[in-house]
């Protein structure tokens, strides 16, 4: 394994037709992945997938912020968090992208707080999903205010900002908290991200696909797969002006440092 896709969804229906073949393509490409739940059912499915692929796939269990209509089942989730292939809690956070979700900030905050508390209790890092409303950074600012509050009482709290879409000011707040910044396929085709990739120290960067969503160049418009994470690592190397081999090694090390239950 040379590369890790720290955020993907083999547990979603988009892989129902060819899940095994897509996993094989990932393994053949020298890639492993963290399979991320968005609710109770997909979190359980993520764990099931890891049981069949214990050396290449790990699970993350939690409830996505747009799933605010459902209450957070702390009992069920804390039982899942004890699974040996579980490496993180989430994806959780705040999503203000669609007006309907933004109107339900309060519900989102409640389920976010429960998951931060579960992360602290279980000693697992957070997989953050924070999606701002277009043209603003308020979802990031609100999430950081909450995280900074918990961090005071629980300095060991850690995590990563998945699919990072913030600016360098937001990135610096995550770095100051001891969190990581995870870049997705959008850095391969949206020039505006290059300044942020250049800004964040290599020791704090993670690579991810968010498959089946947001395929990187040259696969844009197709269903995304963890095997394509290599394109994101290449782009980080290109922007940083560092050899691909060095970047691969460091990103793998970063994932191990954050997700301490990764066993490879
Ligand atoms: Zn995701």
Residue 20 lies in a domain: yes
Residue 263 lies in a domain: no
Percentage of residues in the chain with pLDDT exceeding 90?
A: 99
Sheet with 180-183, edge to edge strand ranges: 3-8, 31-36, 57-61, 86-95, 126-131, 159-162, 180-183, 205-207
CA 213 – CA 220 distance, rounded (Å): 10
For 59, what's the count of Cα atoms within 13 Å in the CB-facing half-sphere? 29
Residue 206 lies in a domain: yes
Instruction: Give 228-252 pLDDT, tens digit per residue.
Output: 999 999 999 999 999 999 999 999 9
How many residues are present in the chain? 264
Phi, psi values for residue 172, rounded to 5°: -65, -35
Q: Find the mean pLDDT for residues 205-211.
A: 98
pLDDT at residue 84 in the model: 84
Distance from the CA of 171 to the center of ligand 1, in angstroms?
A: 19
Q: Find the mean pLDDT for residues 84-99.
A: 97
Q: Find the mean pLDDT for residues 125-146.
A: 97
User: Please, which pLDDT band fits residue 189 given cuts at 50, 70 and 90?
Assistant: very high
pLDDT at residue 264 in the model: 84
CATH code for the domain of 226:
3.20.20.140
Residue 204 lies in a domain: yes
Residue 37 lies in a domain: yes
pLDDT at residue 36 in the model: 98
Q: Find the mean pLDDT for residues 201-207.
A: 98
Distance from the CA of 242 to the center of ligand 1, in angstroms?
A: 28
CA 12 – CA 7 distance, rounded (Å): 13
Please tell me whether residue 261 adopts helix, strand or coil conformation: coil
Distance from the CA of 24 to the center of ligand 1, in angstroms?
A: 21
Does pLDDT of 263 surpass 90? Answer: no
Residue 59 lies in a domain: yes
Phi, psi values for residue 185, rounded to 5°: -60, -20
The predicted model scores a pTM of 0.97
DSSP 146-178: HHHHHHHH-TT--EEEET----HHHHHHHHHTT
How many structural domains is the chain composed of? Answer: 1
Distance from the CA of 28 to the center of ligand 1, in angstroms?
A: 23
Share the mean pLDDT of the chain: 97
Any idea what the Cα angle at residue 96 is, between residues 116 and 222, rounded to 5°?
95
Residue 264 lies in a domain: no
Please tell me whether residue 206 adopts helix, strand or coil conformation: strand
Distance from the CA of 212 to the center of ligand 1, in angstroms?
A: 9
Q: Residue 31's CB: how many other CB atoms inside 10 A? A: 24
Distance from the CA of 36 to the center of ligand 1, in angstroms?
A: 6
Distance from the CA of 150 to the center of ligand 1, in angstroms?
A: 24
User: Please, which pLDDT band fits residue 79 given cuts at 50, 70 and 90?
Assistant: very high
Distance from the CA of 245 to the center of ligand 1, in angstroms?
A: 26
Domain that holds residue 138: 3-258
pLDDT at residue 145 in the model: 98
First-last CA distance in the chain: 8
Phi, psi values for residue 207, rounded to 5°: -110, 145
Q: Find the mean pLDDT for residues 182-201.
A: 97
CA distances from 42 to 36, 62, 85, 122, 230 (A): 8, 9, 15, 20, 25
Distance from the CA of 229 to the center of ligand 1, in angstroms?
A: 14
Instruction: Give 9-45 pLDDT, tens digit per residue.
Output: 999 999 999 999 999 999 999 999 999 999 999 999 9
Distance from the CA of 211 to the center of ligand 1, in angstroms?
A: 7
Residue with the two structure tokens 């890891």: 50
Distance from the CA of 75 to the center of ligand 1, in angstroms?
A: 23
Distance from the CA of 96 to the center of ligand 1, in angstroms?
A: 15
Distance from the CA of 7 to the center of ligand 1, in angstroms?
A: 6
CA 204 – CA 197 distance, rounded (Å): 10
Distance from the CA of 8 to the center of ligand 1, in angstroms?
A: 6
Q: Residue 63's CB: how many other CB atoms inside 10 A? A: 26
pLDDT at residue 62 in the model: 98
Q: In what helix (H) or strand (E) does residue 9 lie, and over which residues does it extend?
A: none
């Amino acid at each position: 394994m040379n590369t890790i896709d720290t955020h993907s969804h083999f547990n979603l229906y988009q892989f129902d037709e060819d899940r095994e073949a897509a996993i094989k393509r990932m393994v053949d490409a020298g890639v492993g992945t963290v399979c991320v739940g968005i609710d109770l059912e997909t979190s359980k499915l993520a764990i099931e997938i890891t049981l069949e692929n214990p050396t290449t796939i790990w699970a993350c269990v939690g409830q996505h912020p747009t799933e605010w209509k459902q209450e957070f089942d702390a009992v069920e989730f804390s039982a899942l968090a004890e699974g040996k292939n579980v490496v993180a809690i989430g994806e959780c956070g705040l999503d203000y992208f669609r007006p309907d979700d933004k109107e339900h900030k309060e519900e989102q905050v409640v389920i976010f707080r429960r998951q931060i508390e579960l992360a602290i209790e279980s000693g697992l890092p957070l997989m953050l999903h924070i999606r701002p409303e277009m043209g603003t950074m308020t979802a990031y600012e609100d999430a950081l205010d909450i995280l900074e509050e918990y961090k005071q009482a629980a300095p060991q709290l850690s995590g990563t900002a998945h699919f990072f879409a913030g600016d360098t000011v937001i990135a610096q707040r995550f770095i100051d908290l001891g969190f990581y910044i995870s870049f997705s396929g959008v850095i391969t085709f949206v020039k505006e991200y290059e300044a942020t990739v250049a800004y964040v120290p290599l020791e704090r960067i993670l690579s991810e696909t968010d498959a089946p969503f947001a395929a990187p160049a040259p696969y844009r418009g197709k269903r995304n797969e963890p095997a394509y994470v290599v394109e994101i690592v290449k782009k980080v190397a290109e922007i940083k002006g560092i050899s691909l081999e060095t970047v691969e090694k460091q990103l793998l090390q970063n994932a191990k440092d954050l997700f301490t239950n990764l066993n490879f």
